[in-house]
């Protein structure tokens, strides 16, 4: 079994927050510390995802309209693929709808 390294973290909570956390833990049948640990981990994951999305958006804004914006061949292929899908399908007798 792999040992998980942990750190002790003392966190003072407002009374209402602590009460709500305890009630949620009781409803779930989980220890309060486990519910708090999960909530913190999920919040941190959302922050990581937001940071990545923000970084991508900043990069896209910085290169918009430049040569790095989109590969011309790739863009042309995408336009052709969309155009091909939007053409009316040919009927069996060879005429278009």
What is the per-residue pLDDT across 1-57, written as a single tens digit (0 to 9) for each? Answer: 677 888 998 999 999 999 999 999 999 999 999 999 999 999 999 999 999 999 999
Count of domains forming the chain:
1
What φ, ψ does residue 44 adopt, rounded to 5°?
A: -65, -40
> Tell me, what's the pLDDT at 4?
81
> Tell me, what's the pLDDT at 67?
78
Domain extent at residue 43: 15-67
- Among residues 23, 46, 25, 45, the alpha carbon closest in space to that of 35 is found at 25
Buried b (16+ CB within 10 A) or exposed e, 1-26: eeeeeeeeeeeeeeeeeeeebeeebe
> Tell me, what's the pLDDT at 13?
96
Is there a domain that residue 75 lies in? no
Q: Which residue do the tokens 């640990």 mark?
A: 37
**Separation between Cα atoms, residue 63 and residue 69, nearest integer Å:** 5
Token representation of residue 41 = 């981990």
Is there a domain that residue 21 lies in? yes
Is there a domain that residue 62 lies in? yes
């Amino acid at each position: 079994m792999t040992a998980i390294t942990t750190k002790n973290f003392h966190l003072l909570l407002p009374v209402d927050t602590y009460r709500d956390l305890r009630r949620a833990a009781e409803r779930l049948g989980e220890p309060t510390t486990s519910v708090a640990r999960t909530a913190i981990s999920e919040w941190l994951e959302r922050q990581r995802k937001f940071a990545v999305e923000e970084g991508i958006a900043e990069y896209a804004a910085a290169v918009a309209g430049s040569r790095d914006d989109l590969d011309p061949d790739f863009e042309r292929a995408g336009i052709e693929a969309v155009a091909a899908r939007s053409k009316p399908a040919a009927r069996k007798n060879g005429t278009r709808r």
